Amino acid sequence: MGALLLLLAACIPRGDRRAPPAPRPGPAQPSAQAPLQCHIELARDGVGFRVLEDRRFEGGCSALGAVQLLEIGTPVTNLGAMTCPLARQFARWTREVVQPAASQWLGSPVRRIETFGTYACRSVNSRPGARLSEHAYANAVDVAAFQLADGRRITVQEGWNGDADRVRRFLRQIHQGGCRQFNIGLGPDSDAYHYNHLHFDMGRGPYCR
């Protein structure tokens, strides 16, 4: 354990260490030891990250026990605050699912992942009166496109039901792989709100559509 804590110290600035976050309404909360354990797991995986200050916002939104991913091996756009479990699973999904699937079906590694972001203080699908989205707790990420090393750009919107069979297979494989990495996985077949992205979160599941 001592060696792991030394490894963790190299990834987290000393001034950013904080006590475990207080419980919030909404999704189930981890145990008091979970944030530190998650930081250790990120460090073990070679992920660069920064621990963020706990923040609470109007309307019940919050970003508690969150981190910001700095280096996961593949550049990613628009990543803000993410709960540590979400960040851990996103890094693993990128390494263990996205890159192998890109090599298998597209013959080129992914050079950059494009997302619509993580934290957003809003309801589910931004519908008035609906419960708060997992985005409102920094517990969700929406993935929109992939820039390949060979110059191609694959988007969920155009590729999911597009003419290219290998692109369709790639997108479905990473969607199904995401359903195994995250608690919730939604794609264009789930509803009209997800026509242009893959939604993954660590809320109450499992659910995959």
pLDDT tens digits for range 168-188: 999 999 999 999 999 999 999
The mean pLDDT of the chain is 87
pTM score: 0.82
Cα(183)–Cα(202) distance, integer angstroms: 5
Weakest-pLDDT range from 111-115, 119-123, 151-155: 119-123
Mean pLDDT of 80-85: 97
pLDDT at 72 over 90: yes
- In this predicted structure, what is the pLDDT of residue 33? 57
Mean pLDDT of 122-142: 91
205 or 28: which leads in pLDDT: 205
Domain ranges for the chain: 2-208
pLDDT at 16 over 60: no
